[in-house]
């Protein structure tokens, strides 16, 4: 079922909430693309609707001694399709500790700020009548679908956070929790109108061109430094060839394919030209930098740093490691 973007026409509805027990709080939003049965799930897919400058509240299950909202971060609004190692379900999977790689969405966050006074579950429960009233009002105003609310209301149990990963925090509820002003003095520049972030095809592709360029150039610069340190003369060819660098030493050339990612790269995307070059040119290398950190400056410029390097010399794109993820379709005559 399609996500109900009830907030899309109201720029003040800029709050979200991550529900987690992770240790690296505020680093990113990180969720599988589908649930355990392979179906889309709103508690994960909502990550792709977050916009630049939105506020992500962090509900942590244990950090403050009891569940509650312990901090907040700014959203970058640029998410990456990558992979996540997910614990296998079932008693056998838990016993073996099996980690199953699955497609995932990852969005880096900025400026994690702990709350001086966390909003704990006991405080939230004290506001249950007001929160229920806000929920009823929202349902009356937006009757055509799910609200993805942060809390579960029940006549059989006490109020608790939704049993999912990511939810929408209505501004009306943020006001009741005295959280509607967090981040107001240091907001990241956001587009004037709310619009869903454009999804990409293929792992590791980022929709924001400035972020993508910063990550790619960070990887290219690291590769250039590495080859120069090894005694090569290096020329950038990415704008005109199907490979990124030509490294020359003692008259012998090597073609270098460079790939950069802000996530943990279990695979990379290759064009048909890159595949052919790896097979047709005897000396081709693959240089991959993942885990690249990036941030947006106050003037909007994107910077990148860090990264973990893996380097394959004399590399060929093996047929058994390639997956067809896109086809060119020749249109029939009408």
Number of H helices, E strands in the chain: 7, 16
The rounded radius of gyration (Å) of the Cα atoms in the chain is 23
In the predicted structure, residue 96 carries a pLDDT above the cut 60? no
CA dihedral 223, 225, 226, 230 (to 10 degrees): 140
Do 166 and 17 meet the contact criterion of CB atoms below 8 Å apart? yes
Domain of residue 55: give its range. 15-176
Which residue, 276, 261, 272, 274, is CA-closest to 309? 261
Put residue 32 in one of left, alpha, beta given phi > 0 → left and psi -120 to 50 → alpha: beta
Q: Give the C-alpha separation, 87 to 73, whole Å.
A: 26
Q: Give the C-alpha separation, 83 to 88, whole Å.
A: 15
Q: Give the C-alpha separation, 329 to 334, whole Å.
A: 15
**Phi/psi of residue 112, each to 5°?**
-60, 130
**For 220, how many CA atoms within 13 A lie in the half-sphere containing its CB?**
17
Region 50-67 average pLDDT: 92
> At 258, which CATH number?
3.40.1350
Q: How many domains does the chain have?
A: 2
Same domain, 42 and 116: yes
Same domain, 220 and 151: no
Note the maximum CA span of the chain: 78
Domain-located, residue 132:
yes
Domain-located, residue 243:
yes
Domain-located, residue 3:
no
Do 125 and 158 meet the contact criterion of CB atoms below 8 Å apart? yes
Same domain, 161 and 219: no
Q: Give the C-alpha separation, 257 to 223, whole Å.
A: 9
- Burial (CB < 10 A; 0-12, 13-18, 19+), residue 17, is buried
Domain-located, residue 126:
yes
Domain-located, residue 192:
no
Same domain, 141 and 277: no
pTM of the model: 0.59
Can you tell me whether residue 172 is helix, strand or coil? helix
Q: How confident is the model at residue 162 (pLDDT cuts 50, 70, 90)?
A: very high
- Of 27-41, 65-79, 160-174, 190-204, where does mean pLDDT reach its minimum? 190-204
What is the model's pLDDT at position 306? 92
What is the model's pLDDT at position 103? 83
Region 318-326 average pLDDT: 83
In the predicted structure, residue 57 carries a pLDDT above the cut 90? yes
Within 10 A of 260 (CB to CB), how many other CB atoms are there?
28
Same domain, 21 and 170: yes
DSSP letter at 189? P
Which residue, 108, 111, 80, is CA-closest to 267? 80
Do 28 and 108 meet the contact criterion of CB atoms below 8 Å apart? yes
Same domain, 159 and 263: no
């Amino acid at each position: 079922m399609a996500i109900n973007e009830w907030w899309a026409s109201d720029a003040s509805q800029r709050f979200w909430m991550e529900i987690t027990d992770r240790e690296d709080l505020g680093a990113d939003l990180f969720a599988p693309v589908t649930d355990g049965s392979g179906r889309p799930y709103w508690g994960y897919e909502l990550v792709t609707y977050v916009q630049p400058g939105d506020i992500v509240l962090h509900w942590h299950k244990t950090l403050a001694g009891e569940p509650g909202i312990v901090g907040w971060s700014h959203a970058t609004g640029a998410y990456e399709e990558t992979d996540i190692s997910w614990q296998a379900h079932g008693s056998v999977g838990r016993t073996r500790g099996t980690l199953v790689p699955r497609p995932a969405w990852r969005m880096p966050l900025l400026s994690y700020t702990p709350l001086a006074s966390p909003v704990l579950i006991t405080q939230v429960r004290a506001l249950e009548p007001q929160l229920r009233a806000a929920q009823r009002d929202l349902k009356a105003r937006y009757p055509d679908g799910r609200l993805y609310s942060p809390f579960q209301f029940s006549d059989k149990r006490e109020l608790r956070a939704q049993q999912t990963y990511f939810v929408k925090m209505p501004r009306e509820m943020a006001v009741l929790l005295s959280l509607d002003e967090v981040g107001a003095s240091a907001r990241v520049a956001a587009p004037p109108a709310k619009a869903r972030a454009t999804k990409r095809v293929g792992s590791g592709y980022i929709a924001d061109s400035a972020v993508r360029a910063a990550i790619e150039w960070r990887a290219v610069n690291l590769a250039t430094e590495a080859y120069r340190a090894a005694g090569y003369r290096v020329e950038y060819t990415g704008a005109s060839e199907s490979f990124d660098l030509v490294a020359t030493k003692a008259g012998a050339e090597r073609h270098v394919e460079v790939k950069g990612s802000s996530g943990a790269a279990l695979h990379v995307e290759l064009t048909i030209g890159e595949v052919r070059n790896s097979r047709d040119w005897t000396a081709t290398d693959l240089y991959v930098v993942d885990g690249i950190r990036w941030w947006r400056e106050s003037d909007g410029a994107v910077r990148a740093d860090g990264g973990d390097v893996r380097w394959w010399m004399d590399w060929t794109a093996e047929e058994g490691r390639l997956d067809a993820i896109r086809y060119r379709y020749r249109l029939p005559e009408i």
